Amino acid sequence: MIVIGSDHGAFELKSVLVEHLKSKGVEVCDCGVFDATSVDYPDVAQVVCEKVNSGNYEFGILLCGTGIGISIAANKIDGIRCALVNTEYAAEKAKQHNNANVIALGGRVLGPDLAKNILDAFMNTSFEGGRHQMRIDKIHALEK
């Protein structure tokens, strides 16, 4: 199962991605928002990241207008490795090298087809481990 959430700046793209995932048979927990009413993206990041940290979800997806603010908020939460991705290549590397457990996308900077391709690239990539795990361990040591 995958958990997803967005602020008002990306709720339309979030809806596209939810439908894309469901069409692939992926179970999705949609934490909202569901319209253009203004919300604060740190609140959305907290809800999604807490669910990711619960261990009940494969990974999380966060969206705001650019993806920048919500990714910064997500990375303040212990245990979260959120990668802001704008290309398929970046999505692959986020998983291969960083074992990102959350990806952030910008609803005002990505078209729906590219966003779906980025999501597919992330989901179809595996973590390489090895020297990358040592780096992730160092990242988590910074949280202490």
Catalytic residue (one of 8, 20, 31, 64): 64
Tokens of 37: 């009413």
Tell me which of 29, 97, 132, 140 is the catalytic residue: 97
Chain centre distance of CA 68: 11
Q: Tell me whether residue 64 is one of the annotated catalytic residues.
A: yes
CA distances from 109 to 2, 3, 10, 105, 117 (A): 23, 21, 10, 8, 14
| Amino acid, single-letter form, for residue 11 | F
Say if residue 47 is preceded by a cis peptide, omega within 30 of 0: no
Catalytic residue status for 82: no
Catalytic residues: 64, 97
